[in-house]
């Protein structure tokens, strides 16, 4: 049975097959509920039978009748195994620092539930159903920023989720109120779970947090790269640039698919522009535009191709069942290294590089519009009364500060392994850290693009009576619905925030019309 979604109820059905990126977003951000299918419950039952058979055996099995990590050589008697699982969850719920966002916690819980549904973790059906009920009732365990090394998976974040399942720790209820887990479960009509053999380990040993952040980041970056094309097109017009360099035959000479898509967007966005047409004649002395205009498809396209690769990684991970030891299809319980977060950590680090570079190019276009030596006749800083007014001077400072931060965030986390667990876990992925910094980087990119859109909109106004292209004009008009046009200096921060909301909500792309 496959995993699906019931559009009538907004419920994602979890089977033994993989969830999709769209379903992760629906549960994490849209608040969709979840339901384990009959196929999932059957797979869980089969895996549990294997664990219970091995629990009765005299031979020790890791995670069932032994300690963990560097304590794996200690045999645990049957009467102490429930305490073993409880102690595991309590001791591993050792996170510290700021609270992680609700959407990240819901994403990691959905992905852990998807792995439970394969039957390869060996948990009981009742435990999986109780985990699903937390998502259904909007109870979000409090997870902290620090605690995961990305190997063995996201241990501390997942342990905090498991802690809530047993009625301990803290949660946010559906309204966002901070609650002790026990009373919050009781109020929702849910009973805390008493963990059995292997269940504590099955609940915490996965790469679900870093994968959830990768899926959410990919979803966001697809939208932001379209915004980057819109912003670039507006800036090309504002700076009296040419659209000829975006011609299909020229782009085809370097056949990168992302570049072709970005160039197609720029051609469509600039089609019908009176501003571009005004300087196409023989009187134009401009030979070539600056790189930040001319090379936008190459940079934005390379970012798209990087994202295509990380989408492929995410898709493979969504089809994975991560645990150690794992209940194999032939019934054996086998140790493995699939919990290592390197594939996801590398992808998260990889994305941080084009995020920083796309932002850097955006900032360069913005700066060009503010500099009279390069802006082709626009007033200094687009100010109403230069000298009295500073215009958008400091908005570019804000961009520059963010771009500098994005460059620091582009330094990879995944090369910074720190050994742990008495050298048993002597190489770790730092994938969780890569995910945390990528989320900050995406926030920065959105802010940088918002400043460029705001700046380009004013510059297009100042090119009147020439009219922008229909599609860039629609974006300019959208900005004007939230922010007044050129005039004396105003409090600028709220105007930047207003355009930022248009960027984040997808309104900018929607106004621009269909894009690749």
Could you count the other beta carbons within 10 Å of the beta carbon of residue 231? 33
Q: Strand, helix or coil at 429? A: coil
Rounded CA-CA distance 284/293 in Å is: 17
Q: What is the pLDDT of residue 7?
A: 39
Question: pTM score > 0.85 for this model?
Answer: yes
Q: What is the pLDDT of residue 285?
A: 64
Q: What is the pLDDT of residue 73?
A: 72
With CA atoms as reference, report the closest residue to 391 among 402, 380, 401, 400. Answer: 380
With CA atoms as reference, report the closest residue to 430 among 141, 100, 147. Answer: 147
What ranges make up the beta strands (E) of 280-413? 326-327, 333-334
* Length of the chain counted residue by residue: 516
Residues 385-419: b if buried by 16+ CB within 10 A, e if exposed: eeeebebbbebbebbbebbeebbebbebbbeebee
Q: What is the pLDDT of residue 69?
A: 66
With CA atoms as reference, report the closest residue to 269 among 490, 24, 514. Answer: 514
Whether a cis peptide bond, with omega within 30° of 0, leads into 309 is no
What residue ranges define each of the domains in the chain, with the CATH number in brackets?
Answer: 4-206 (1.10.275.10), 213-417+426-512 (1.20.200.10)
3-state helix, strand, coil in the chain (%, to 5): 55, 5, 35
Could you count the other beta carbons within 10 Å of the beta carbon of residue 253? 6
Backbone angles phi, psi at 171, to 5 degrees: -135, 165
Which residues have a catalytic role annotated? 62
With CA atoms as reference, report the closest residue to 234 among 480, 490, 484. Answer: 480
* Cα maximum dimension of the chain: 91
Instruction: Report, as ranges of residue numbers, the positions in the chain whose pLDDT lies below 70.
Output: 1-9, 68-70, 283-285, 287
With CA atoms as reference, report the closest residue to 117 among 4, 209, 216, 224. Answer: 4
Q: What is the pLDDT of residue 502?
A: 98
């Amino acid at each position: 049975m496959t995993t699906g979604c019931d559009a009538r109820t907004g419920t994602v059905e979890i089977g033994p097959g993989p969830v999709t990126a769209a379903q992760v977003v629906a549960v994490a951000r849209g608040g969709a509920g979840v339901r384990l299918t009959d196929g999932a419950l059957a797979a869980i039952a089969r895996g549990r039978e294997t664990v219970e058979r091995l629990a009765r055996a005299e031979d020790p099995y890791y995670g069932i009748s032994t300690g963990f990590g560097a304590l794996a050589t200690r045999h645990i008697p049957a009467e102490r195994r429930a305490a073993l699982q409880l102690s595991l969850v309590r001791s591993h719920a050792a996170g510290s620092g700021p609270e992680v966002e609700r959407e990240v916690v819901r994403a990691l819980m959905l992905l852990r539930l998807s792995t439970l549904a394969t039957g390869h973790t060996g948990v009981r059906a009742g435990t999986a159903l109780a985990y699903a009920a937390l998502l259904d009732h909007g109870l979000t365990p409090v997870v902290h920023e620090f605690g995961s090394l990305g190997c063995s998976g996201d241990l501390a974040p997942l342990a905090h989720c498991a802690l809530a399942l047993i009625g301990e720790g803290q949660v946010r209820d559906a309204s966002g109120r901070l609650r002790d887990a026990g009373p919050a479960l009781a109020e929702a009509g849910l009973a805390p779970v008493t963990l059995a053999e292997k269940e504590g380990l099955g609940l915490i040993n996965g790469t679900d947090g870093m994968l959830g952040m990768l899926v959410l980041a990919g979803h966001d970056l697809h939208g932001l790269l379209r915004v980057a094309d819109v912003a670039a097109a507006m800036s090309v017009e504002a700076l009296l640039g040419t659209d000829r360099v975006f011609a299909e035959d020229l782009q085809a000479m370097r056949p990168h698919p992302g570049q072709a898509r970005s160039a197609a967007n720029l051609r469509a966005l600039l089609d019908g522009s009176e501003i571009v047409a005004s300087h196409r004649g023989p009187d134009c002395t401009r030979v070539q535009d600056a790189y930040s205009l001319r090379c936008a498809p190459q940079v934005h396209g390379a970012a798209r191709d990087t994202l295509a690769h990380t989408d492929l990684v995410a898709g493979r991970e969504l089809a994975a069942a991560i645990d150690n030891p794992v209940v194999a299809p032939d019934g054996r319980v086998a140790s493995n290294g699939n919990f290592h977060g390197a594939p996801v950590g590398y992808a998260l680090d990889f994305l941080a590089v084009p995020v920083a570079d796309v932002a850097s190019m955006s900032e360069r276009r913005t700066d060009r519009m503010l500099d009279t030596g390069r802006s082709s006749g626009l007033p200094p800083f687009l100010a109403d009364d230069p000298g009295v007014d500073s215009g958008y001077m400091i908005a570019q400072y804000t961009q520059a500060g963010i771009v500098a931060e994005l460059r620091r965030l582009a330094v990879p986390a995944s090369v910074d392994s720190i050994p742990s667990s008495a050298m048993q876990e002597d190489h770790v992925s730092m994938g969780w850290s890569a995910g945390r910094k990528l989320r900050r980087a995406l926030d920065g990119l959105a802010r940088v693009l918002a400043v460029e859109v705001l700046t380009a909109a004013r510059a297009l106004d100042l090119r009147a009576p020439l009219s922008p292209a229909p599609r860039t004009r629609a974006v300019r008009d959208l900005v004007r619905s939230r922010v007044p046009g050129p005039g004396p200096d105003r409090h600028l921060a709220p105007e930047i925030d207003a355009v930022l909301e248009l960027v984040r909500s997808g309104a900018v792309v929607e106004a621009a019309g269909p894009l690749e």
